[in-house]
Chain A
Amino acid sequence: MVLVVVLVVLAVGSVVFHFWSPWWWTPIASNWSNIDEAIIITFWITGVVYTAVILFMAYCVYRYRYHPDKRADYEPENTKLELWLCGLTTIGVVGLLTPGLLAWNDFVTVPEDAVEIEVLGKQWEWNYRLPGKDGKLGTTSIRLINDDNPFGINPKDPNGKDDVLIEGDDLHMPLGQNIKVLLRSTDVLHDFYVPEFRAKMDLVPGMVTFFWLRPTRTGTFDVLCAELCGVGHHIMRSSVTVDEKPAYEKWLNEQETFAALYPKAADGSQLAGTQEQARDITVITAKESESKTAVR
């Protein structure tokens, strides 16, 4: 009998906890409210099933508890009932999958007008690169990375000279702008995670990954790493500020470009040194433009 009470308390208590506990998601700051909606739909469908099954089980335990004079029913199977249950479950699954896949379709379809920015992760810090006045990011290679060129920007690519570099500082984003976030890592896996944006994606060394979003609320939000990346995983932090357009422009104008920060690397003079590096660059430029196309 204790068990029956416990089952009912757990079923009802879980629902109560769901609605009244202080722990819920952060107010959203991006366009991904359809993800939140899919979660809410999932909660309703699965919550009803959960409560119904537990309460029915509690009823069975109570109603059919052992009694020496009673005898259990003998019914090996009931195909009709099982087909009904299968059918209802299938309908539930379709109800879950539809909003989920619709949201995913948006997620994988990057709008044409999205501005590309780059997040560069390394143990255990975040760096960012924004396109300059030309609106394009220069090509890069991990082999070009050194103290004078921390992002590995290809000096032969004119698009790269005016790229805005943010090293170890906070990122800003303009409100209402579609942004495609390109993700690059120089060492191990990381994951660019801003809880308020809902979206997140791994940074994978050796490839460029991406996701897109449109900030819908101004404010400053924490950036965390969500993919285990070594002992400093938990301290790999940064923050991102969403500004109104004018404030964003003002901030952007205060940031330094590749050419200004690293003149020696940007004019390519430092590369003349070895033939090997020169050859690398050619290979790299070809490779990177390929991977960029693939990303699009």
Chain B
Amino acid sequence: MSNGVLDETQVIPPAEVEEVDLYHAKSFITKWVFSQDAKIIAIQYSTTAILIGLVGLVLSWMMRLQLGFPDTFSFISPEDYYQFVTMHGMIMVIYLLTALFLGGFGNYLIPLMVGARDMVFPYLNMISYWVYLLAVIILTASFFVPGGASGAGWTLYPPQAILEGTPGSQWGIILMLVSLVFFIIGFTMGGLNYVVTVLQARARGMTLMRLPLTVWGIFTATILALLAFPALFVGGVMMLLDRVLGTSFFMPEIIQAGELLGHDSGSPLLFQHLFWFFGHPEVYIVALPAFGVVSDIISTHARKNIFGYRMMVWAIVSIAGLSFVVWAHHMYVSGMNPYFGFFFATTTLIIAVPTALKLYNWVLTLWKGNIHLSIPMLFCIAFILVFLNGGITGLFLGNVAVDIPLSDTMFVVAHFHMVMGIAPVLVIFAAIYHWFPLMTGRFLHEGWGLFHFWITFLGSYLIYFPMHYLGFVGVPRRYYEIGETSFIPPSAATLNEFITIMVLIVGFAQVVFILNILISIFKGKPSGENPWDATTLEWQTETTPPGHGNFGDELPVVYRWAYAYSVPGVEADFVPQNLPPDQIKRSGSSGEAVAEDPPELHKPE
């Protein structure tokens, strides 16, 4: 790889990607409703996810009203409160974050970024969305059935989840489980599609080690999800059988209100293992796409290549592998064999090493960059801070002995909201501000964006940072009200009031964001093509927004990695992945070699 055009073409695999026959919609309905275009499906997924996410947001207000001002809101009963908690958690984790990152960003970005015309199975892709929508409708319906939605906590631990004494044990839990089953079916259709598309439909020259990290993140997360969701599926089906047919998978002999129930010899712990075998990878199903997106946005807006690309890829892959052997760190106080603690604490802390490396590399990408503090970049920097904070408290909770006093306290609530609530949501915002010009040809309004950024970032930090200390005091989570205790000082109530007020403020800032989107679609400042001067293929389409089939008559040919920013000897500070080497305008007269790929990435044989 010394210099010149010849070397560069050597690394392009000779095989041409065959042109596929696209489905061309003929009517309004097949074009916009039952659409098979991944970009439309992406917008359908995103809209649905954000709408149900707004329900989750309102639920969080209701629950915080109760915590901040107990005895004030007589319309919130303990039953209501536990239903709010449960539905908020499940909606945010599964129906918002998972659906938005994989169904939303995955659908929009994968085909565009790998240089494909569409997903490889467009029809399946369409069905995937409709099954997801069905799951969301079933979940929403559970608010309106007799007994209301489930109040079992989002972890749905049996026996409690399906017994009287828990809200929604009549119908709510059944609808919840059925909805999850449908969600998983829908996701599996979409997930297979994303994986096959990345593996089979990449443009000529797009080797795996030239993929943007966004694609690596979504691709790996999808594989994780395909392997992890079946555990939840099985757990959900078994619990349905326990609830509906009276089987005893998770139900031991139980006496409730003096009555011996008909169950016998089931194991509540078995459900917890199944749930967390899914549940821990789920954290990374949300985190890995966020990692990828952040890498690309930071690189683009700092005008500098991502630092240590290969390490970033291997970190994603090793985090994904490790995430399957850490699940029982959610169960240190569950009563499982205590010797498991040694194993799971060790694996959990090992995962900190590749994760920390990713974080260092983001910061090192900023180092010696030329940093545009655009709104996407602001959100990314906020993400680094919040994610670092949440990752660090994970080191407390993963370390078995340290977890024992903190488990089931507000410390845990603060931790997971930092690391898999606020952090990924900040990335979602960064991504929306970054790719909105691609989707609409317009910018989001910058002033409103700044308002949205500062309130969201500072507000969230002020909500969750002090909350950890409530956990230190010993305030347990999932308490309708604290009531009288000897160990919680009155100042904790003041802090709870403060947190609630911040939650309301941050929540309303999201309304501004939604309005910004709705107005900017029609009135936003036109962005032109490739407004951020990005290298990746989605910005090199013939039209903005990209049309049906994504690219023009010819599929792009890829000559280099996705991070050719500020390459020495090149006039522009970025070189698109598909720009032929002979069209690069060189600067200076030195005739110096132009490093197209970092030499380590491709060694010609």
Which A residues are closer than 8 A to B by beta carbons?
Answer: 3, 6-7, 10, 14, 17, 21-26, 32, 34-35, 38-39, 42, 46, 49-50, 53-54, 56-57, 60-61, 64-67, 70-79, 81-82, 85-86, 89-90, 93, 96-97, 99-101, 103-105, 107-108, 122-123, 142-143, 145-147, 183, 186-189, 191, 193, 195-196, 198-207, 209, 220-222, 224-235, 237
Contact between B392 and A38 (Cβ–Cβ < 8 Å)?
no
Binds A, one of B229-237, B458-466, B516-524, B530-538: B458-466
Contact between B408 and A74 (Cβ–Cβ < 8 Å)?
no
Chain B window 199-211, contacts with chain A (Cβ cutoff 8 Å), 1 for yes, 0 for no: 0000000000000
Q: List 20 A-B contacts (CB under 8 A).
A: A3-B381, A46-B392, A49-B392, A66-B371, A66-B373, A72-B369, A82-B308, A100-B345, A104-B338, A104-B341, A107-B341, A108-B338, A142-B254, A143-B253, A188-B159, A189-B160, A200-B333, A202-B334, A207-B252, A227-B408
* Given A23-B466, A108-B341: A74 in contact with B480 (beta carbons within 8 A): no
Residue of B368, B407, B487 near A226 (CB, 8 A) is B407
* Given A61-B366, A234-B483: A195 in contact with B405 (beta carbons within 8 A): yes
Question: Which of B151, B152, B368 has most chain A Cβ within 10 Å?
Answer: B368
Instruction: Give the residues from 332 to 361 in chain B that come closer than 8 angstroms, CB to CB, to chain A.
Output: 333-335, 338-339, 341-342, 345-346, 349-350, 352-353, 356-357, 359-361
Contact between B404 and A35 (Cβ–Cβ < 8 Å)?
yes
Smallest Cβ-Cβ distance to B312: which chain A residue: A77
| B157 in contact (CB, < 8 A) | yes
Instruction: Give the residues from 100 to 141 in chain B that come closer than 8 angstroms, CB to CB, to chain A.
Output: none
Contact between B566 and A74 (Cβ–Cβ < 8 Å)?
yes
Smallest Cβ-Cβ distance to B494: which chain A residue: A22
| B2 in contact (CB, < 8 A) | no
Instruction: Give the residues from 384 to 410 in chain B that come closer than 8 angstroms, CB to CB, to chain A.
Output: 384-385, 388-389, 392, 395-396, 399-402, 404-405, 407-409
Measured CB to CB, the closest approach of chain B to A134, in angstroms, equals 27
| B473 in contact (CB, < 8 A) | yes
Measured CB to CB, the closest approach of chain A to B243, in angstroms, equals 14
* Given A100-B399, A100-B401, A186-B254: A23 in contact with B492 (beta carbons within 8 A): yes
Contact between B333 and A89 (Cβ–Cβ < 8 Å)?
no
Residue of A56, A77, A191 near B600 (CB, 8 A) is A77
- Note all chain A residues with C-beta closer than 8 A to B388: 50, 53-54
Contact between B469 and A24 (Cβ–Cβ < 8 Å)?
yes
Instruction: Give the residues from 362 to 380 in chain B that come closer than 8 angstroms, CB to CB, to chain A.
Output: 363-364, 366-373, 378
Smallest Cβ-Cβ distance to B385: which chain A residue: A54
Which B residues are closer than 8 A to A by beta carbons?
Answer: 78-79, 82, 151-153, 157, 159-160, 163, 165-167, 252-256, 258, 260, 265-269, 302-305, 307-311, 333-335, 338-339, 341-342, 345-346, 349-350, 352-353, 356-357, 359-361, 363-364, 366-373, 378, 381, 384-385, 388-389, 392, 395-396, 399-402, 404-405, 407-409, 458, 461, 465-466, 469-470, 472-474, 476, 478-483, 485-487, 489, 491-492, 495, 563, 565-568, 573, 595, 598, 600
Measured CB to CB, the closest approach of chain B to A109, in angstroms, equals 10
Measured CB to CB, the closest approach of chain B to A20, in angstroms, equals 11
| A10→B384 CA distance, assembly (Å) | 13
- Note all chain A residues with C-beta closer than 8 A to B160: 188-189, 228-230
* Given A72-B302, A101-B400, A198-B405: A56 in contact with B368 (beta carbons within 8 A): no
Contact between A221 and B356 (Cβ–Cβ < 8 Å)?
no
- Note all chain B residues with C-beta closer than 8 A to A7: 381, 385
- Note all chain B residues with C-beta closer than 8 A to A77: 307-311, 598, 600
Contact between B78 and A231 (Cβ–Cβ < 8 Å)?
yes
